[in-house]
Structure 1
């Protein structure tokens, strides 16, 4: 059974991904959308139905989820081969993939929670998979933050109950003044899932999960659920004038904070996690500039190259005896050639190298920012954040490929068969998917006409970041420690969202335990009263079966009576 689940699940995922990409291209060709609805309950004005919405964007993103899952499961055959619970691990990951597909295809706010809450619960189970203190702490932060989003989504469902219709398509055309609180709740719920400020602390902490899980969580499933929710509700949310300004401020700050924090890190998986946080901020920034198609394209492209980056990182971790410290690694191009090529392709795509996949989304995004942003300081901050992305990406690549290897010389470096197949698939798709999407999705209305000098700004900015990475490589030790500590802790968001909240809950729990549970409830509950009656009964039995004691007691009572009267 173990071999059946772990060895045949990649084949099933690949078959489903091929079927759904064919269906997506058909939907795109005919420009249609299919809504399938099953009526579950109908009484008076209350109607509850289970809908499934099939459109080309949902099918294309489902293909990305399934294709990445196929490659991740192929990689996990080698990575998790020594794990005794491999059967359980594979089953949980398949449930995780199912939850994401439910979120994609169900356009009903009530049933949407099946996928939304399923992602949160299963991610908690996967984060605590290794069962140690670090994993449990990371799992608590992940569950606590995602539970905030679940509560807000439930509140928005409750506030919409009087219209007796929770289908997203119907909400696109509703009056904005009746749904201002729903807009706020949906926006904040998406921020918790996509780790925008101030809910960013859980995303690097989720690195405690196994690397195949990290590849799924940080590429196409959990972190993109919030962005996908905003894109689904875009026509509804965009009616609020403050929606774009609020999202723009939060996304730029998230983008800048994640970039600065990644520039100070030495943990390989944490750098990749912070780069994911940076790209999520970039996606939200694109949505705030009213270009949801470009945001969707970047979400798809980012999922591909980030999954490739995690698979390459997992190969390095397994070869370096599960060490994640970049200072011990180096010169991997001779020892792990396929992983080196995957690293270079994914990092160049992340930096926006011309004619790599993300160049086709970052370049128009920076051009659109000159037209749609009226605040010069926000434009400068957004351009600076893109430059920082190039800096930490190049720093990451320098430490892995061009620096000296400081590990023991007796290590055996090997790229196993399933890992090589997985990386080869991902490298090929990561290179071509950008041009493929810009042909299919981007319309002529999204083209911006700029002069030749302004068009070169994104490219120049990227090369400035690359040059700065070479410069800072020699002056890194002179950085002020307090500034480095401030950025390593993500502007102190991590302690504020974890230890402070935990201490607050622990103090309240202690007061409850001492004053109620161990005081009133312990003494006056069923067990407490039982013990009191039991003690009284024991006293009665003791006195009843002690004639000498009873005689002495009667003698003293009679003596007291004679003395008094």
Structure 2
């Protein structure tokens, strides 16, 4: 019946309808800055009530609208990208389940109910990553699932420890000395879901999923779930003295590592995944500096232009026989002008070019980090990572849009309506969303007066990174960065500072070695010899020896059977 009803054609319209309906309460909540809380008491465990709680606040409603709008555009794009897939209806249902899980995470501030959305994201993401059934996708799905299981276990521990407070509501928590472990577990859960160091290796591996899944997962749903969880918990968790320094250190390390790795990568989707990792580090760093509203602002704007970037990349991949190597593409400004224009706009927003959506949030984070008193080294590394973002974005555009064409001349390049309409919608939002949120949303940001050189510092770094990428591409035939010159640098950069083997292969080496030796020495040798198979073999051999040594008389057979019965009874008792 599912095959007869074309879910993939109706899903985008359904999400657009829900989005339009949700705009009314969102507008009311944002304009009047009101929060509505609905609670249903389900049952009680020793005077602790289990409640189904719904929260309708400006942060959650705005983020849900962004998720629904991006999902509607991505599902529209998937009707072309996956039109040859026999199971496109099943794929669409999985994506809708993903969107439902994310909305449950947004609107349920109760820790036990929030676990439904949290685990739903993990399970559905695993199924979507292994959607293309091959060994590479299975390996990527296992890394994704097992890393996220660490976060699930941490959240379960936090739920168990929260029982001491007599409730599981995020909004009513208070800080005690005994709650330090609880803060640590929630932080680790958010870091695994948002792929912060040392849990970063699963995010580029999850690029094995179809491109529409990547556009959804790595823009507004799975990876931002950890950031959103920390935003919800921030008033409770910031009272721990070590929380913000730990968050700042891991976030800056992540954004720097991702920026350096993206300068040497040649896989188109992995470059965008590493840029997602870099921007997640920027959001976490903003929270580590106490700027929660700016982190939320950047999360919304980043979701819009990152989804646009993935949709444009998916259009290029679809037109080049599903090849993701950017060295095989080129001169697409003439062949696919609309997609190339949207890609350039998304890259400008990603770099923080003035008056694009990314500029408002990213520039404000950098300015606030220089205005307030913070660690000079951390702020400097953030500025370096901002320059690296401009470097790899310019390199990406130069290879794909303006570089020489290296692909097969018989490739048919097209820009149909289901490809261009989601792009143009997301592109318009990538231009205007920053200014709209800045004017409308209550960000609670005070006036900052900083010197002119600090004000111009982000723009200077953006132009410097772009100029350096342009010079390197102009002086060298291969579009290489300096990290590609020596083999160890190139290998370390592509391996994300050896984080991939250290976090996935190294921890598994000793358990695999022990289990392999256990299988050979115990399960397939001694346990076989001492258990049923060994006893059977011994009894058969001994009976054959006795039968061959004795004369064929009935008394001998009776003696042998009685001795065997006695032996069995002795073994049993």
* TM-score computed with the length of structure 1 as normaliser: 0.92
Deviation sequence 1:503-535 (CA, Å, 0-9, x none): 2332232234235533566566xxx54884698
Residue of structure 1 equivalent to 2:343: 343
Residue of structure 2 equivalent to 1:93: 95
Unaligned 5+ segments in structure 1 are: 555-565
- The Cα RMSD (Å) is 2.4
Cα distance, 1:164 vs structure 2: 2.4
Residue of structure 2 equivalent to 1:496: 502
**Aligned equivalents of 1:318 and 1:43: distance in 2?**
53
Contact 1:330 1:399 in 2 (8 A): yes
Deviation sequence 1:472-507 (CA, Å, 0-9, x none): 223537622221111111000001112223323322
Counterpart of 1:487 (choices 481, 486, 493) is 493
Contact 1:358 1:434 in 2 (8 A): yes
**Aligned equivalents of 1:260 and 1:26: distance in 2?**
43
Contact 1:24 1:57 in 2 (8 A): no
The correspondence of residues 33-182 of structure 1 with structure 2, limited to 5 A, is 33-42=35-44, 44-171=46-173, 174-182=174-182
Deviation sequence 1:285-323 (CA, Å, 0-9, x none): 111111111110110100000000101100100101111
SS in 2 for 1:125: helix
Unaligned 5+ segments in structure 2 are: 558-573
Cα distance, 1:553 vs structure 2: 7.6
Deviation sequence 1:16-56 (CA, Å, 0-9, x none): 11111221111112321111111111254222111111111
Cα distance, 1:341 vs structure 2: 1.3
The correspondence of residues 275-424 of structure 1 with structure 2, limited to 5 A, is 275-424=275-424
Residue of structure 2 equivalent to 1:232: 232
**Aligned equivalents of 1:153 and 1:444: distance in 2?**
30
Contact 1:100 1:222 in 2 (8 A): yes
Contact 2:80 2:418 in 1 (8 A): yes
SS in 1 for 2:54: strand
Residue of structure 2 equivalent to 1:517: 523
**Aligned equivalents of 1:514 and 1:530: distance in 2?**
16
Deviation sequence 1:249-268 (CA, Å, 0-9, x none): 11111111100100011110
Cα distance, 1:548 vs structure 2: 4.6
SS in 1 for 2:404: coil
Cα distance, 1:9 vs structure 2: 0.8
Contact 2:294 2:443 in 1 (8 A): no
**Aligned equivalents of 2:273 and 2:432: distance in 1?**
24
**Aligned equivalents of 1:259 and 1:331: distance in 2?**
25
Cα distance, 1:89 vs structure 2: 1.1
For residues 531 and 95 of structure 1, do their structure 2 counterparts lie closer, same or farther at Cα, with a shift above 3 Å needed? farther
**Aligned equivalents of 2:112 and 2:523: distance in 1?**
37
Contact 2:56 2:107 in 1 (8 A): yes
Deviation sequence 1:200-227 (CA, Å, 0-9, x none): 0000000000001111110011100000
Contact 1:543 1:550 in 2 (8 A): no
Instruction: Kindly indicate whether residue 273 of structure 2 is the aligned counterpart of residue 273 of structure 1.
Output: yes
Deviation sequence 1:356-403 (CA, Å, 0-9, x none): 001111111111111334432222211111111111111111111111
Cα distance, 1:124 vs structure 2: 0.9
**Aligned equivalents of 1:406 and 1:150: distance in 2?**
45
Contact 2:152 2:189 in 1 (8 A): yes
Contact 2:356 2:434 in 1 (8 A): yes
Which shifted more, 453-462 or 379-388? Answer: 453-462
**Aligned equivalents of 2:229 and 2:221: distance in 1?**
12
**Aligned equivalents of 1:134 and 1:444: distance in 2?**
46
Cα distance, 1:181 vs structure 2: 0.7
SS in 1 for 2:412: coil
Count of residue pairs the alignment pairs up: 550
Contact 1:196 1:254 in 2 (8 A): yes
Cα distance, 1:149 vs structure 2: 0.7
For residues 56 and 523 of structure 1, do their structure 2 counterparts lie closer, same or farther at Cα, with a shift above 3 Å needed? farther
* TM-score computed with the length of structure 2 as normaliser: 0.91
